[in-house]
Every structure is written in structure tokens, then in C-alpha cells.
Amino acid sequence: MKKGLNKLILPCLCCLSFYAGTQLVGKTEASFTSQAEAKPIKISTAFVFPSYIHGLEEKARISSEQIQKEHAGLEAFVKNGLLYGTADPPSEFLRKKEQITASLEELHIIRAELEKLDRQADKKEGYDFVSEGFLKVDKLLLQMNDSLYLQELEQLFNQTLQEREKEQQEEGIKTNKLDEDEKIEIPKQKIDHEETIEEQANLMEEHSVIKYQTQKDEEEEIANEESPENTE
């Protein structure tokens, strides 16, 4: 009897264990499924990266240094008169000015790009580097605008150019006047020389006439002395 009871209890315990296991696994699976549906995983991509902003900052820095170098060179050329050693000073000045303007325009383009990105990053977390890059380039552009004075350099160049052209014209007038004086002096000397030759010729002619007249008088006097009337 006891052995039969043991055989009956053992299968019952196995059934109870299996049932409890199925119930536990079902609740766990339902819990995971509920959590996955309530909080799905979302992956978002950044619209701009720090490396791109830093690249724009470096590009702006190089452009600003190029602008300062070109502006200092143009200033030296204008103030020291080095442009006048070229074949066409106005064209050379314009070429250098256009180089500076092109570099400055590139700096404006970089600033505009950063300004657009800064608007997109407004009120978004993790994009402080965009605003910092924009402020750096904006400040750099303001410094360039304050340090450049292309209009004043152009006015100084034009003023100096006009003065130089005026001096050259005055020197040309003086040279032409000297040439004209030389041309006038040469004919005058020629006339004086011709007058001297003419005077000498006149003197020689007068001398010949006097000599001829004297000789004629002497011949007449000799002839008179030898005539028969004078002999008697």
C-alpha cells in the first residue's frame, strides 16, 4: 500500500513542477514583449559633425591670414611707390585689390554657412560646437573689416598717380622748351656766320675795287707822262 502511494505522489509532483514552470516563462515573455512595445529603440543621425565645423574654422583662419598679407603688400606698394616700377601701375593696383576682395568674399561665404548651421542647431542638445564655430568666424570677419581700408588706399594711389603724371608733364614741357631754344639758337648762329662771310666778301670786293682803281690811276698817270705833249 505504501509503495503504491509513493508511485502516485511522484508523478503528481512532476506535473505540478511542469505547470509552475510554464506559468513563470509565460509571464516573463509577456513582460519583455510589453516593454519592447512601450519603449522602442530609436537611432538618429547628426546633421553636422564637429570635424566639419572645425574644418570651416581653419579655412576661415587661412583666408584671414591671406587677406592680411595681401593688404600689407598693397599698402607697401602704394606708400613706397613700388607700383610705378610696373608697366601699367593702375592695372597692377586693380589686380592686387581684386585678390584681396576674392579672399574676403570667401570668408563671407564661410560665415554664411556657419550661420545657417547655427540656426539648425538652435535649441538642440549636443551642438554647442556649431555656435562656437560661428562666433569665432563672425568675430574674425569683423576684425578683417576693421583692419582693411582699401578705399583709402585707392584714393591715395590715384592722388599720387595724378601728382606723378603732372610732374612728368611739367618735365616734358621743360624738355620741349629746351629743344625749341636749341633749334632757335642754331639758326641764329648760322645767320651770324652767314653775315660774317658776307661782310668778309664785301670787304674783299671793296679792296679789289680800290686796288683796281689805284692800279688804273697809276697806269693813266704813267700814260700821261709818256704822252708827246708832256714831252714837249
Name 70's Cβ contacts closer than 8 Å, sequence gap at least 6: 96, 99, 100, 103
User: What is the mean pLDDT of the segment spanning 110-129?
Assistant: 92
Taking the C-alpha atoms of residue 78 and residue 179, their distance in angstroms, rounded to an integer, is: 34
Name 50's Cβ contacts closer than 8 Å, sequence gap at least 6: 129
Residues counted in the chain: 232
Q: Model confidence over 135-186: pLDDT tens digits?
A: 999 999 999 988 888 999 999 989 988 888 888 888 877 776 666 666 655 5
- pLDDT of residue 83 exceeding 70: yes
Check residue 33 and give its pLDDT.
Answer: 46
**pLDDT tier at 190 (50, 70, 90 boundaries)?**
low
Q: Are 133 and 56 within 8 A, CB to CB? A: yes
Q: Are 114 and 133 within 8 A, CB to CB? A: yes
Q: Model confidence over 7-56: pLDDT tens digits?
A: 555 555 555 555 555 554 454 444 444 444 445 544 456 778 999 999 99
Give the CA distances from residue 166 to residues 126, 159, 163, 169, in Å, rounded to whole numbers and listed in that order: 65, 11, 5, 5
